Structure 1
Amino acid sequence: MTTKRRSIAFLINNVVGDYQSELRAGVERAAEAHDVNLLTAFGEPITARGPGEVDRSSFYHLVGAGGVDGLIVASSTLCYLAGVEGMQAFCASFAPLPVCSIGMAIPGVPSFMIDNALGTEISVAHMVDDHGCRRIAYLGGPAGHEEAELRAGGYRSALAARSMPHDPRLFARGAFTIPTGRAAMRAILDRGVGFDAVVSANDRMALGAIEVLKEEGRRIPEDVIVCGFDDAGIARFTKPSLTTVRQPVKRLGGLAVNAVLRMMDGEAAPALQLVRVELTRRESCGCGYHSGESLAPPPPSARGRPLPLADQRVLLERALMRAVVVPAGALDGWAGDLLAALEAELAGLKGRFLRALQDLLDEARREGVVLDQFQGVISLLRARVRPPPEDGDEAAMTDALEQLWHASRILIGSASVHVEGQQRLNVELAALDVTYGARGFAACLSLPVLRGLLASELPRMQFSRVAVSLYDDAQRATMRPLFLMEHGREVEVPPVSFPSQGLAPPGFLDAAERRSVVVLPVAFGDVEKFGVAVLDAQANEMIYDVLRLHLGSALKAASLHRQVVREVELRERLEQERVRQESHVAARIQTTLVPKRLSIEGLELSAIMKPAAEVGGDYYDVIPTPGGGGWLGIGDVAGHGLAAGLIMLMIQSMVSALTCNDPAASPARVIAALNRAIYKNVRDRLERDEHATLLLLRYERGGRVTFAGAHDDVIVCSARTRRCACIPSSGVWIGALPEIGGMTRDAELVLQDGDVLVLYSDGVTEARSPQNEQFGLERLCAVIEAVQASPVSAIRDRILEEVEGWCPSPDDDITIVAARYRAPG
């Protein structure tokens, strides 16, 4: 039966940064050596709710409960908002899992720290004992930060051990950043107190101090010598390069892995283990990369010349080991191996030394050792090694050794440049990948678009195995997968929810081979948490942090877009409901005002008004007058809905009142008077700009029809010829202008016995077929001519039938008025 591989979770604030990167590398290497799975989780601050309390809803608690067997907490990177008590509660919240801490001593939790106090002690000792400084300024870290306080304590202890007073004027605090280092240095300078050296609690503040000192005209190291702490990558490349205390950060990671594995096996781990630090001397203190000659005195020689290699082998090996800062447990026996190769070279095996040096540089590069340090090794060998005494041609051998040292320096320089160039290239390539991907993430407005972008961009970022899952409930107890990738290809997402503690869909983290993954929260800020992403751990470290930010931003944008869409849809539904309600009211107005009885002497009348889905403002009326005459009216208010219905109501009321008051009135004058009232009401009271077509016809019993206004043509189908004549109206719209009297004229037509008069709205002639062809006036006339002899109700119905057949879903009202004239007698 196969035993399940054990898993460790490593919790840290970020994977980007000199300290974080090296610490993660140490944990990763140790996990690989012990064949255990590693889940590196980062990206969320630790907050304490109160003394001894911690927020248990944090993303890290999902990781801790997600099937791991132990945890390593990089406490020094997570403690800023929680402090020691908060971190103690945080670690205790994972019980009964074994937990250990790196970078902070936490009561009740096995902790691993560098000897912070020793680091500043050896810095001060170097400045005082080796350089003779007497007034040493100190740039400390934030008050209450454990490591910062330990380093400040080391500074005070070193002064006290040398009977040197601690001057508070030479002490200032920063926040471990270059800007705060500048500010702290200026604060000391402003106090007007003299100093000849500066020790800083970290490298970045030291670099900020150097900038300020240069601005003040002080030379480094001639006027002031400076020392930092941490040996960050930037410390090697500044001008001058920075003397600093190097932390064995990788060793801390390895020790923590070993401890948590022992705890998983039931063994005890030390409550606190301090790891020694070492001083790396560079240009800012005047030492530069020391050659090692000062590390151990050369062995005595009767003639004052270097002894043969064999006579000083042990001392020389020790000197070489001290010349290069190497992580503990790395490059075991390298100095002895290199000296053995040199002995073989001196014995005549040409090329042995350079091959051994190349192998050493390759291994040192893999371990993260600064290769430039080996220039000091060559300087030391050149000073200490001489040709074998039995060699007869000492001059030739000396020349050969000089060529060997020269070739060695070239080899080291080339390897160092290659390493730095490769690192820069990797960063540039990662930056390009992030830049291209960022443009896509910025435009993601939906989850399908985001999935497509992940499928195209993640393989280019060197990811091959990815799971992105989103919370499925308000309590964030379950998740549903959004995106899955296996072997660099997107795979189908299973439509299932799973417990959030699983981090990824079932089976994703289960594999026969060892797994190392990075787990990060998918969130926007510290409040809006969307889900969790699990990615393989082989990509450039900067990509993880940028991807975390872009994923959270993309999901926030998609969420906002969904919210906007929902609001728009809601507004559209409300608007549609409003229009529906208005249309219902307008339809009631429109249909209620239709005359119930169509009766004018001498006219057989039939009419219909059929409102569309969005009711417009069609109007028709039949008004008999005393003496056997009457009025016919037809019109159409532009627009739809309630406003159109109200305007149509105004028109009907005014026409009825004006014609009843003066049955023999001029249609043009009625139109002009009506327009003045409509224009004022629509503009001033309704605050709208609608207008309407309107045609009024005054019928006399003898067949004369006087008409005025602007509407569709009047159709008269002759009983004698059975052909239609289209008589245009020549007025203007009502409501468009304040005064139209000068543009409105009466016109006349005369009906003969049996003639058919047809009035209609544009819903008839402008009805469109599925092919977008209008029904048209010509087709309407053809229909009328075909049924001219039929009763007017049949004519009306036939027109309606043809129009509806032409356009099954009319989008405008249809109004038809048909009248047949019967002459007197």
Structure 2
Amino acid sequence: MSTVTQVESATPKRPLTLGILAADIDTAFALRLVAGIIDRASALGARTVFLPGHPPSGASEFDRQFNLVFRLPDATAFDGLIVIGTTLQYHLPPKALEAFLSTLPQVPTLCVGFASKIVPSVVNDNYGGFREVVDHLIRQHGCQRIAMIAGPAGQGEADERLAGWRDACADAGLPPAPELVLQGSFSRASGHAAMLSLIERGIAIDAVVAANDEMALGAMACAVERGLHVPQEVRFGGFDDILAAGRLGVGLTTVNQSHYELGSVGVSHLLAAIAGEPAPGLTRVPTRLVRRQSCGCGGFYAQPGALAAKLPERMAGMLEELAVAPEREPHYREAIQLVEQGLSRALVEADFQPLLAAVHAVARDALAAEGHVFGVQALLVAAQRWLIEPRQLTPEAWAAAARWLQQAQIALAGLQDVALQERHRLHSEQAMAFRELLKTRIATFDLRKLLEHLSEALADLRLDTCCIALYSGEARIDSLDDFDLPTQARMLYAFIGGREQPDLHGERFRTHDVLPARAWELAAQSSALIVYPVFHGAEHFGFIVFSVDPVVGGPWETIRDEVSSALKASLLVSELAAARDALRSDLAQAREGQRELADIAHRDELTGLLNRRGFLAEARLRADRLHADGLAAAVIFADLDGLKQINDRHGHAAGDVAIRQAADVLRRGFRAADLIGRIGGDEFVIFTANADPDALAAMRDRIYRLFERASQDLPFTLAGSLGYVVAPPGDAISIEEMLARADTVLYEEKRRRKGAV
């Protein structure tokens, strides 16, 4: 296994970001896996973004809408990906799952729970673990006819466990007879049906193993119903070590697989790959055989000679076997001491109550800190090996100790059931309260009011982070297969650190970044986030981001559903209001359009100045006002010198540049209130008020200097000549007459300048 110290991103501005793709993350197994991923990533300084879609093979619009979250990661925002194949492989055949993996971005990728041929994988040792339980039945109990209830054919884990059964039998010289293999579906009902078939066909067996505990429990229940004694007449073994395996009167011998460790090892390997270390193609996480009464071991399998004598040594061995995370070691050390003390008192007093009290105390702490008692269950399994010392106990005492540990497992199962029921009740109440709050506080579908009351609802849920992002522009999906996520999104609503962050509202960011940079900074304490799509029917609006707590879980999908529905209604009402306002403003828009069209008709396209029509119309109006006010007016005529030579030598594109540069010179040289127009190819006119001849002469010289400066950055000489005429106050001369006089003066100016040269 790779040893990974804290890893820093190649970009020091942010920690490493790991995307976790899965089909389901709220089952008991999945939550243990999630906890392992989050704890290990957090310990190594990486953050995790969970992207829970639906089965990629889903054909419904709802499934396909949900699966758009699988398109969120890209190689810029995500440093690596973990695909939880444990759940995906139940919905996709191996080839389809490999095809799905091949569509992911080109970043280091690792598959957990499915042995991929194209990306590194971390899986439980299904083959070795199942072979161990079969070997145990053969070698320790002398079984010769072991029936196998297999899982779905073609499913990776099921096939590996079937291979473990075959090889264990073959190596022991027990040819696996075809009649001993029965097909199941990983359900308890299929295990019951398989056992019933064995009994009714009269197949001789002395043991039954099943590819998972559910099928094994169903088969064992069928055997008891038909009057068979377990383990005297038939022995049983399973795989998974679910809580129910230790609940029945006869505990099920099984194989314990740590999903927590699976997630933890997966993160370590992925971070090593990101750091440039070579990644092993396939890593198998060891499993552990748990021997209980169903195989005939009586719940006690430790050999007295193999037990350590000192508690610190035994505690170290237990911690290593349990693969306890470093940050949880102090809690587990205390738990081991409590269980040791309770077991010792129980043995001295010949009473189960001291051990039961210790287990209850440890379980309460575990539920508060981790949300489950899976770790305590594993601790009790390990206690059989490490805490029962050889104290010269009588057979009766050994039997009592084994019985107490089994009863403690049953008590744990009950506590876990109560905790799960309480969690479901709490989530249901939270979801109902969330819906009611939105309904009672929001009388209309006003989006602003929805967001105002959302903070209150989220605070009641004690949720740390909830951010809603909408794609920029419309995202109405006609074809999900071809739909690419919009590149830009904006933050509609940000609730981080248990409170609203209004400064982030409206901030735009790259869709694939999931959150704006400032939001990531505020959410630094939430090392794990989960992303759900926000959609309604064929409309995909964006996504909603929550903080993840694998201990308490959360009604994430309920909030997503309520927000999506409310958002759709609010947007619909907004669209209807916009349409109503548009109808009301049609006339104003038409008038504005007419003004815009008129402006276009009066503007020169090349320079943006007024054209002949626009200049004459506006100049006439100004001239009339000046005449009425008794003020003087002036018209300046200007044209470029040598435009034909520029066109001939440098091309007409250069001639266009010269015309635009001349327009800029005139804009800079005259006042903003002056009227400037281009009335011909190289001809410009200016209308100005309150101008006297001396001021106009100074202005003309300034324009000439501006032409010279502009020429310094051009491959040709930019020059122009100006002629002007002044209409004294009260002189009713027309604009056309003034232009004609100014044109005459212009040509006189051209001759003067040529003569001066």
- Alpha carbons 2:317, 2:386 under 8 Å: kept: no
Q: Secondary structure at the match of 1:144?
A: coil
- Alpha carbons 2:151, 2:185 under 8 Å: kept: yes
- Alpha carbons 1:372, 1:416 under 8 Å: kept: no
- Alpha carbons 1:317, 1:336 under 8 Å: kept: no
Counterpart among 226, 236, 247 of residue 246 in structure 2: 236
Q: CA offsets, 1:346-380, max 9 Å, x none?
A: 9xxxxxx9999999989988685225854984897
- Alpha carbons 2:53, 2:67 under 8 Å: kept: no
> In 2 relative to 1, CA 179–112 (structure 1 residues): closer, same or farther, beyond 3 Å?
same
Residue type at the aligned position of 2:475: D
- Alpha carbons 2:73, 2:105 under 8 Å: kept: no
- Alpha carbons 1:228, 1:244 under 8 Å: kept: yes
> In 2 relative to 1, CA 552–427 (structure 1 residues): closer, same or farther, beyond 3 Å?
closer
Q: CA offsets, 1:310-343, max 9 Å, x none?
A: xx7389957994799623666599699969x99x
> In 2 relative to 1, CA 296–321 (structure 1 residues): closer, same or farther, beyond 3 Å?
farther
> In 2 relative to 1, CA 186–66 (structure 1 residues): closer, same or farther, beyond 3 Å?
farther
Structure 1 segment 329-728 matched on structure 2, within 5 A? 368-371=374-377, 373-374=379-380, 377=383, 384-385=390-391, 425-437=422-434, 446=445, 448=447, 451=451, 454-471=454-471, 472-474=474-476, 475=483, 476-477=485-486, 478-492=488-502, 494-495=505-506, 498-505=509-516, 507-511=518-522, 513-522=524-533, 529-538=540-549, 542-543=553-554, 546-549=555-558, 551-552=560-561, 555-556=564-565, 559=568
- Alpha carbons 1:250, 1:327 under 8 Å: kept: no
Q: CA offsets, 1:407-459, max 9 Å, x none?
A: 99999999998777656544543343234335668999947476466434333
1:141 corresponding residue in structure 2: 151
> In 2 relative to 1, CA 491–277 (structure 1 residues): closer, same or farther, beyond 3 Å?
same
- Alpha carbons 1:114, 1:277 under 8 Å: kept: yes
1:165 corresponding residue in structure 2: 175
Segments of 5+ residues of structure 2 without an aligned counterpart are 1-10, 346-353, 394-400, 477-482, 583-757
- Alpha carbons 2:496, 2:523 under 8 Å: kept: no
- Alpha carbons 2:50, 2:530 under 8 Å: kept: yes
Stretch of structure 1 that moved more, 199-208 or 321-330: 321-330
2:277 corresponding residue in structure 1: 267
The separation in 1 between residues aligned to 2:229 and 2:408, in whole angstroms, is 33
1:810 corresponding residue in structure 2: none
Larger relative contact order, structure 1 or 2 (CA cutoff 8 Å, min sep 6): 2
Structure 1 segment 111-150 matched on structure 2, within 5 A? 111-150=121-160
- Alpha carbons 2:465, 2:547 under 8 Å: kept: yes
Structure 1 segment 787-802 matched on structure 2, within 5 A? none
The separation in 1 between residues aligned to 2:65 and 2:99, in whole angstroms, is 9
- Alpha carbons 1:139, 1:181 under 8 Å: kept: yes
- Structure with greater helix percent: 2
Aligned-pair Cα RMSD in Å: 5.1
The separation in 1 between residues aligned to 2:197 and 2:407, in whole angstroms, is 45
The separation in 1 between residues aligned to 2:336 and 2:196, in whole angstroms, is 49
> In 2 relative to 1, CA 467–17 (structure 1 residues): closer, same or farther, beyond 3 Å?
same
- Cα deviation for residue 99 of structure 1 reads 0.8
The separation in 2 between residues aligned to 1:226 and 1:407, in whole angstroms, is 21
The separation in 2 between residues aligned to 1:554 and 1:452, in whole angstroms, is 13
- Alpha carbons 1:244, 1:279 under 8 Å: kept: yes
- Alpha carbons 2:81, 2:109 under 8 Å: kept: yes
> In 2 relative to 1, CA 454–217 (structure 1 residues): closer, same or farther, beyond 3 Å?
farther
TM-score normalised per structure 2: 0.58
Q: Secondary structure at the match of 2:460?
A: coil
The separation in 2 between residues aligned to 1:178 and 1:161, in whole angstroms, is 30
Residue type at the aligned position of 1:520: V
> In 2 relative to 1, CA 95–558 (structure 1 residues): closer, same or farther, beyond 3 Å?
closer
Q: Secondary structure at the match of 1:268?
A: coil
- Cα deviation for residue 131 of structure 1 reads 2.8
- Cα deviation for residue 549 of structure 1 reads 5.0
Residue type at the aligned position of 1:555: S
- Alpha carbons 2:318, 2:386 under 8 Å: kept: no
The separation in 2 between residues aligned to 1:28 and 1:162, in whole angstroms, is 43
- Cα deviation for residue 114 of structure 1 reads 1.4
> In 2 relative to 1, CA 6–338 (structure 1 residues): closer, same or farther, beyond 3 Å?
same
1:216 corresponding residue in structure 2: 226
The separation in 2 between residues aligned to 1:375 and 1:94, in whole angstroms, is 40
- Cα deviation for residue 117 of structure 1 reads 0.7
The separation in 1 between residues aligned to 2:193 and 2:282, in whole angstroms, is 35
- Cα deviation for residue 223 of structure 1 reads 3.8
Stretch of structure 1 that moved more, 150-159 or 6-15: 6-15
- Cα deviation for residue 565 of structure 1 reads 11
> In 2 relative to 1, CA 426–63 (structure 1 residues): closer, same or farther, beyond 3 Å?
same
- Alpha carbons 2:17, 2:47 under 8 Å: kept: yes
Q: CA offsets, 1:133-185, max 9 Å, x none?
A: 33222222222111111111111111111121223233223332334434444
Identity of aligned residues (%): 26
Q: CA offsets, 1:651-673, max 9 Å, x none?
A: xxxxxxxxxxxxxxxxxxxxxxx
Q: CA offsets, 1:75-99, max 9 Å, x none?
A: 2222344433333343343343111
1:709 corresponding residue in structure 2: none
The separation in 2 between residues aligned to 1:58 and 1:512, in whole angstroms, is 24
Q: Secondary structure at the match of 1:119?
A: helix
The separation in 1 between residues aligned to 2:407 and 2:296, in whole angstroms, is 24
- Alpha carbons 1:323, 1:376 under 8 Å: kept: no
- Alpha carbons 1:338, 1:356 under 8 Å: kept: no
The separation in 2 between residues aligned to 1:153 and 1:442, in whole angstroms, is 56
The separation in 2 between residues aligned to 1:455 and 1:427, in whole angstroms, is 23
> In 2 relative to 1, CA 59–412 (structure 1 residues): closer, same or farther, beyond 3 Å?
closer
Rg larger for: 1
Q: Does 1:97 align with 2:111?
A: no
Q: How many residues align?
A: 528
> In 2 relative to 1, CA 413–323 (structure 1 residues): closer, same or farther, beyond 3 Å?
farther
The separation in 2 between residues aligned to 1:319 and 1:505, in whole angstroms, is 46
Q: CA offsets, 1:178-209, max 9 Å, x none?
A: 34434444444454423332212122222333
- Cα deviation for residue 72 of structure 1 reads 1.4
The separation in 1 between residues aligned to 2:384 and 2:249, in whole angstroms, is 23
The separation in 1 between residues aligned to 2:100 and 2:408, in whole angstroms, is 49
The separation in 2 between residues aligned to 1:197 and 1:381, in whole angstroms, is 30
1:41 corresponding residue in structure 2: 51
Residue type at the aligned position of 1:157: D
Residue type at the aligned position of 1:433: Q
The separation in 1 between residues aligned to 2:424 and 2:258, in whole angstroms, is 24
Q: CA offsets, 1:367-416, max 9 Å, x none?
A: 852258549848976652489xxxxxxxxxxxxxxxx9999999999999
- Alpha carbons 2:489, 2:510 under 8 Å: kept: yes
Q: Secondary structure at the match of 2:73?
A: helix
> In 2 relative to 1, CA 420–48 (structure 1 residues): closer, same or farther, beyond 3 Å?
closer
2:18 corresponding residue in structure 1: 8
- Alpha carbons 1:231, 1:244 under 8 Å: kept: yes
Q: Secondary structure at the match of 1:468?
A: strand
1:327 corresponding residue in structure 2: 323
Residue type at the aligned position of 2:43: A
- Cα deviation for residue 535 of structure 1 reads 0.8
